[in-house]
Amino acid sequence: MVCEKCQKKLGKVITPDKWKDGAKNTTESGGRKIGENKLLTAKKNRFNPYTDRFEECRICRTKVHQPGSHYCQGCAYKKGICAMCGKKILNTKNYCQSSA
């Protein structure tokens, strides 16, 4: 659950979209190349355990596997905030949420 501003910060998907209508990562749209080495071309979107480490959620201290996020998906949904920046995006006042 991320806000509109943080949508562009999300990583790219390696596999092409299933439906080609409007897909940005197909060979027809110029997004993917045939025979491309993804290890060399997409270094910034990959996690390297030798140089990087997973962030911890600021609320529950669990590991967050989404790069650039400060909150896990569970805490972001319960609080109604963006997982990356913490901005309030959903009013959860009348929601019946459980912690399980």
80 in a structural domain: yes
| Residue 66 confidence (pLDDT) | 83
Q: Which domain holds residue 79?
A: 50-91
In a domain, 69, yes or no: yes
SS (H, E, C) 7-66: HHHCCCCCCCCCCCCCCCCCCCCCCCCCCCCHHHHCHHHCCCCCCCCCEECCCCCCEECC
Q: Provide the number of structural domains found in the chain.
A: 1
61 within domain boundaries: yes
pLDDT tens per residue across span 7-27: 888 766 666 556 655 666 566
Mean pLDDT of 58-63: 94
Q: How confident is the model at residue 52 (pLDDT cuts 50, 70, 90)?
A: confident
Confidence grade of residue 31 (pLDDT, cut at 50, 70, 90): low
Report if residue 29 sits inside a domain: no
- Model pLDDT, residue 9: 82
